Structure 1
């Protein structure tokens, strides 16, 4: 493996790096770019941690038979509603313990990536040694060691009674809660040491019906591979949907796309990356992306083809600006800038914008908003929310789960467009209605609308990497620190014997 030279491309597994969509026809293709398409009677998009955590708490309290939590990290000390009293909203671990004590038929299962104990921000002690709240025969917390070297279990799923499922970018851990204000000095947003953690923006989708059943199957499969225990589906007839959560979508098909590397008896699944590439390839007018990381060369290939087309779509990307830690900065930050530079060089028709959001800090400066969401909206026809970043390891190394909607009615088209407008309006600190009117007044151009409205102290800032100077290929070390597939140290010896 060459680590000392820059590379011009990184090839992902074939099924993940090639768009399989035909030039015309639907984007979603079960068995190719999604595992299954299942109906949801209701679906909602929860923007930022405070709404998600609040609705999740309400749903957990309605559980009757089963709560299944799958996460990259988990911390039972967090409070889902830190803006109210502890009596009203106790720490999550204590809440779960109280629920199993109150409800004799309820089982709670929590599955966490094993390396979270050294890599994730939550407290490692309770994951390794247990905690008082875990001391109950119907409350089970397991560490999932079933993954290749350096791979992460990155799915963020909560399933309740197989009747309601949440899937997206948010783990139930520290430094995830925030409101849409994203105030730099919000004293509710505290770390254990009493300091305020940075504003964070994220998304989660809630679905019910057959879609919730299908996502629960994903969770049950993970639990079986990790623990050997096969879980039976539950049926309670109950409705854990939170009473005050208004659905964004009614009677809508939900596509579920997964990523798993082949490991042991677990077969590979590359639907999520295939769906990303197919959806991006399908764009005609606009692509809107929110991404913690966007570094994968195969994503760049699709966007570059669009930018080269005189009639291609506008592309707006909202990303995290400041990386955390040397490894993240070395690979994710560096390769993000290089991919931006690559795309900028081919943007001859001025249809690309890459921004990061900022909030005034009250002292004449500004602080960034950490973008943790993993969102793709294509035209008014496609919405994807999940755990998959647009980097190499999310293509074929880490476990991922995304949920997607492809519009088949005008109502769904309007809802997808409305969500895009709502998200951009949040970053620009204006109303969604103002943004929508400005888009219409600029002939449908979201770039023109952003530039017209991006005048406040809270807003969007362009990346400095938009200049043409500097390298535009993946950095040295990418193949090691952001690999496309599992690294097997013994594979070289096996090849020599063949």
Structure 2
């Protein structure tokens, strides 16, 4: 059963379920996923990706903000090869396979990590491995999608790039010898989420990859039509099958004569407005005052939903601390003032160091769960630039089927349990008893690892965005400077050709 734009009765309750996904408004296109699973944290994603990459036959697209060929997808395996070595191995084994990697053009400059892909060229020195840099963005915009598409049959989409400092396991222990960058430096705990899908939804994600490749390289590639079973990890149980999905995009508005795309931010607002009982949000940034206005309206209503937000408190760099940090505090203060009925909790996640101290777990995920009927996973942060400047892709999953609803509730309960060092069954039991996800947090948030309240004085301080926010965190392009971009493109092409980096 495909979701239409008309109300449909749910099978177990009888009340009408108004679909959130609406192509033409908040979704670029809609499709049905044959299988879908949620991959929580980098270890789960990288392991599943390793399994499916080895099953590729004709095409692999890797589209990302950053890319590091020296990461290891299976760090627990002493024989685990680097990602670059794996790609080289499988392309040599399969004569029909082509691998295309598209990385944000300023990634090598901005992050410093992408420069490593030029250090050893052996992995990509093959006629069927194509590495390109994406400069087709306005000034100060980035390519931010995190996509891997395989044979138009299986795809991964979410918040995790194939680069350094993304791998972590579910324990998020402070001391983990496996959590090291390729250069050997350790890094802190990080939490994120990715999806794996097969069927028409995977084809749709493949269309996004080809579309982006065409914009960056001017090369037109045709979709694949491959018979047989869609690649899927043999030991992975799908969370949902034959489920309704929509793909929402963000592309710069009215740049180079193009209309652009803003389905993703419309999808976010429509999802927040649709919640009846529970809103569960994980977000790296909480700095969109448009989103804050929508949440505040929900909090002021007597019959509005509970809202549980898990955010990253730590900020990196001067501008991020100045703009994102201060705006986050002002935004949370605004929400707390609107919380007339005590239905809001804003937390950051922390893990004990075993000596009476603790360390924050960086929440890098971009996730919204509405009741037990809707999930949005993708690359869009809750900040201005993800609304209309950067290139984003979000996958929405929606269901009125009882089994699908149980799967979405199970995802929410599993995530809450992970943050509280508890069992998902404990969370589910308390939610069933009380009808409240906040009650589950209040009861189970008693261990050294847990959720810490994001303390902001609600009575004192500003609630409007900082002056200059539109410059540091813009919603739309300033003006294009094509001559600079063209020069950068020529420079990187020359460096790649001569292997000077």
Residue 27 (structure 2) pairs with residue 34 (structure 1)? yes
1:11-90 equivalences under 5 Å are 25-85=18-78, 87=79, 89-90=80-81
> Where does residue 496 of structure 2 map in the other structure?
none
- TM-score (norm: length of structure 1): 0.91
CA distance in 2, matches of 1:267, 1:132: 41
> Where does residue 391 of structure 2 map in the other structure?
399
Residue 469 (structure 2) pairs with residue 478 (structure 1)? yes
CA distance in 1, matches of 2:144, 2:114: 18
CA distance in 2, matches of 1:131, 1:477: 42
> Where does residue 12 of structure 2 map in the other structure?
none
Secondary structure of 1:194's counterpart equals coil
Q: Rate the CA distance shift 1:81–1:333 in 2: closer, same or farther, 3 A.
A: same
Residue 175 (structure 2) pairs with residue 185 (structure 1)? yes
Distance apart, 1:326 and its partner CA: 1.1
Q: Is the 8 A contact 1:64 1:236 kept in 2?
A: no
Distance apart, 1:331 and its partner CA: 1.4
Distance apart, 1:410 and its partner CA: 1.2
CA distance in 2, matches of 1:46, 1:125: 27
Q: Deviations over 1:401-441 (max 9, x none)?
A: 01111112111111111110000000000110011111222
CA distance in 2, matches of 1:227, 1:263: 18
Q: 1:207 aligns with which of 194, 197, 204?
A: 197
Greater relative contact order: 1 or 2 (C-alpha under 8 angstroms, separation 6 or more)? 1
Distance apart, 1:264 and its partner CA: 2.7
CA distance in 2, matches of 1:322, 1:244: 36
Q: Is the 8 A contact 1:320 1:372 kept in 2?
A: yes
Q: Is the 8 A contact 2:68 2:116 kept in 1?
A: no
> Where does residue 302 of structure 1 map in the other structure?
294
> Where does residue 446 of structure 1 map in the other structure?
437
Gaps of 5+ in 1: 1-19, 491-498
CA distance in 1, matches of 2:266, 2:472: 22
CA distance in 2, matches of 1:380, 1:45: 15
1:127-146 equivalences under 5 Å are 131-146=121-136
Q: Rate the CA distance shift 1:70–1:123 in 2: closer, same or farther, 3 A.
A: closer
Secondary structure of 1:185's counterpart equals coil
> Where does residue 319 of structure 2 map in the other structure?
327
CA distance in 1, matches of 2:334, 2:70: 43
Q: Deviations over 1:72-93 (max 9, x none)?
A: 00000000011111x3x20000
Q: Is the 8 A contact 1:21 1:278 kept in 2?
A: no
CA distance in 1, matches of 2:442, 2:196: 32
Q: Is the 8 A contact 1:258 1:271 kept in 2?
A: yes
CA distance in 2, matches of 1:330, 1:232: 45
Q: Is the 8 A contact 2:33 2:244 kept in 1?
A: yes
Distance apart, 1:466 and its partner CA: 5.2
Q: Deviations over 1:441-462 (max 9, x none)?
A: 2x21111111111000000000
1:185-264 equivalences under 5 Å are 185-192=175-182, 194-238=184-228, 239-261=230-252, 262-264=254-256
Residue 278 (structure 2) pairs with residue 286 (structure 1)? yes
Distance apart, 1:192 and its partner CA: 4.5
Residue 269 (structure 2) pairs with residue 277 (structure 1)? yes
Deviates more, 1:322-331 or 1:206-215: 322-331
Q: Rate the CA distance shift 1:25–1:193 in 2: closer, same or farther, 3 A.
A: closer
Q: Is the 8 A contact 2:38 2:239 kept in 1?
A: yes
Secondary structure of 1:307's counterpart equals helix
Q: Deviations over 1:229-287 (max 9, x none)?
A: 01111233253212122100011011110001143364301100000000101111111
1:406-425 equivalences under 5 Å are 406-425=398-417
> Where does residue 485 of structure 2 map in the other structure?
none
Q: Rate the CA distance shift 1:21–1:392 in 2: closer, same or farther, 3 A.
A: farther
Distance apart, 1:31 and its partner CA: 1.0
RMSD: 1.7
CA distance in 1, matches of 2:314, 2:91: 41
How many positions carry a matched residue from both structures?
467
- TM-score (norm: length of structure 2): 0.90
Q: Deviations over 1:116-163 (max 9, x none)?
A: 011125241425x77221100000110001000000100000000000
CA distance in 2, matches of 1:21, 1:465: 42
